[in-house]
Every structure is written in structure tokens, then in C-alpha cells.
Structure 1
Amino acid sequence: MASHTAITPQEAADRLAIRELVDTYAHCADRRDAKGQMALFTEDTRFLVFMDATAAEPTQELHGRDSLAPVFDNLNVYRATTHFNGQSTITLDGDRASGESYCLAHHVSVDESGQRTLMIASIRYLDEFTKLDGDWYFAERRLMVDWTETRPSTP
């Protein structure tokens, strides 16, 4: 168990702002707000997707905020999604920070015959954050898929 020391009000505010950034990302994903998601990233961001978290190379690598639109729009293939954010760790260094956060992402699909399926993905995000003009942004986000499960679902 980690020992805790007193933190400054600024550090507390930064930690809260970063957690709100992570949660806003999930909220925008579930509301299909691709523009809102994109606004959470720096202009020169890097977004890497590892469909197998043990792989050395990413499945997909995107550079720049504008390149994120198709990835975020791809969530529209699902009838609904729900992202549950879990534990996270943050290391602050002035206007830079790094962190790891856990997420269980639920994806509901309905095929042409009306058959529903639920795909659950256990995801970890490895993040680099930067503070610009007082606001925190994702400078780099690595989406690491640890496992998935797909099963039939009822309405």
C-alpha cells in the first residue's frame, strides 16, 4: 500500500481535472459525440490502438486530432455502448502527466435478424497528458485491449 503525503491544492485540482478528462472521454464515446472526444486531445496528438495488449506494435496508429474522427465515428456501428471507468494512477510533473486507467467497455450490436449481442472489452489506457492554457488534454493515448468476450444478449 502506498503511503500518502499532503498534496497542494494545485496538485489536487490537476488530479481532479485529469480524472474528469478521462471520464469525459468515456461520456462522449457513449453519447456518440466524436467532436467532443476529439476536443479532448492536443492538435498533434498520437492515438495508438493495441487490439492485443501483449503485441509489440499497435494495430492502429493515428497522428493529429483530425485523424481521430473515423475511429470515434466507428462507435456508431453499435446500438449502444457503456464505458465503466475504474481505477487509475496519475504521475504529475508540472504541466505534464502520465497515467494508466482501466475501463470495461460494453458494446451492444443488433444484426439484420434482430439478434442482439454484447461484446465486453477490458481496456487499459496508457496516457500522456499536457496542460495548455490551464486545461488538461491527452497528448498521447494508448488503448490496450486485455481481453474481449462476446455473448448473446436480450433486450
Structure 2
Amino acid sequence: MTFPVSISLEEAADRLAIRQLIDAYAHCADRRDAKGQMALFATNTVFEVYMDSRAPEPTQKLSGRDALAPVFDNLNSYHATTHFNGQSTIQIDGVAATGESYCIAHHLTVEGEKRTLMVASIRYLDKFAKQDGAWLFAERKLMVDWTDTRGSVA
């Protein structure tokens, strides 16, 4: 992987905007803002979930922004979540870009006195599109590399 020695102000602004998009996705997820999360996607987006990142086919594939509502609403089944974004790589080509970003996601379930914490290591493989001056997800592949589920105390 090579890194640019210098970048233009426009590219720096694009990189920052894409990173803000990635972070907004996690923020909306943790706030249970499904509509806000959906607004981060292009109308004709494709969203694929790979519950096992080594699988050749997705566990779930959705087409179109409106199809995302049930996936994002599913987060309501958890008492709380925290998505912590890590490193990302972005390649920009005009009004299109691709990228990979890492996330450690914590999902807390509370059933009576029983608390369970599921931690997932996720990579997102993204295609971005700049539309009307704003970057959106054109395609997002959610790749679960591993999970760990354990008891949790208050």
C-alpha cells in the first residue's frame, strides 16, 4: 500500500467527509436512529451482511435505501450498543470512492437479571458516491470476522 506524499485540499476535505459518514453510521446505530442511518445511503444502494466473512455468499442482501429499515430497526432488540470505529483506508476517484474500515461492536442484551455482551469484529467494505456535494454509501458490505458472547455484570 502506498500513501500520497501530498494531497489537495479537495481530497483532504473528501477524506474527512467520508470518515464523518463512516462515523455517522455508527452514531446513528448506537442512537437507534434508523431513519438517520438510512439517509447516509444512496437511493439505489446495495447492503450485504456476511455473518461469516469467509463465506462466499452474503447472509443477507438488500437493495435500495428503503429496504434497510428492518436491518437498522433490529438494533432495537439490544439494550445498548457501542460501535467503536478504528482504522480505515479510502481510495478516491473523482465522485466515487472505495474503502475498508474496521469496527468493534458491543451489543448488550438484558433479559430480566441476565445480561449478555456480544462483541463483534467487523470490517466494512464500502463503495461511496458523491451526490450533490455529499458523500453517501453506494454499497456497504458488513463482514463479521469474529464474535465473542459472554455474561456481563451491571
Regarding TM over 0.5, the answer is yes
1:100 is aligned to 100
Structure 2: how far apart are the matches of 1:140 and 1:79?
Answer: 28
Question: 1:123 aligns to what?
Answer: 122
CA deviation profile, 1:21-54 (whole Å, cap 9, x unmatched):
0000000000000000000000000000000000
Query: Which residue of the partner structure matches residue 51 of structure 1?
Result: 51
Match of 1:68 in 2: 68
How far residue 3 of structure 1 moved from its aligned partner, in angstroms, is 4.4
Question: What's the secondary structure of 1:137's corresponding residue?
Answer: strand
Gap runs ≥5 in structure 1: none
The SS at the match of 1:142 is strand
Partners of 2:82 and 2:109 in 1: CA distance: 12
SS of residue matched to 1:4 = coil
Shift, 1:2, TM fit: 4.0
Q: Matched residues in 2 for 1:3 and 1:126: separation?
A: 19
The whole-number CA distance in structure 1 between the counterparts of 2:63 and 2:12 is 31
Distance across 2 between alignment mates of 1:130 and 1:88: 17
Secondary structure, in 3 states, of the residue corresponding to 1:52? coil
Query: Quick check: 1:132 aligned with 2:124?
Result: no
TM-score when normalising by structure 2: 0.98
Inter-partner Cα distance in structure 2 for 1:7 and 1:118: 42
Aligned to 1:36: 36
* Residue of structure 2 equivalent to 1:27: 27
CA deviations over 1:71-104 (Å, ceiling 9, x no partner): 0000000000000000000000000000000000
| Structure 2 unaligned regions, length at least 5 | none
How many residues are treated as equivalent by the alignment? 154
CA 1:105–1:117: 2 relative to 1, 3 Å: same
CA shift digits 1:97-150 (9 cap, x unpaired): 000000000000011x32001000000000000000000000000000000000
CA RMSD of aligned residues (A): 0.9
CA separation in 2, counterparts of 1:151 and 1:95? 43
Distance 1:13 1:3 in 2: 17
Structure 1 stretches of 4+ moved >6 Å? none
Aligned equivalent of 2:82: 82
Shift of 1:4: 3.4
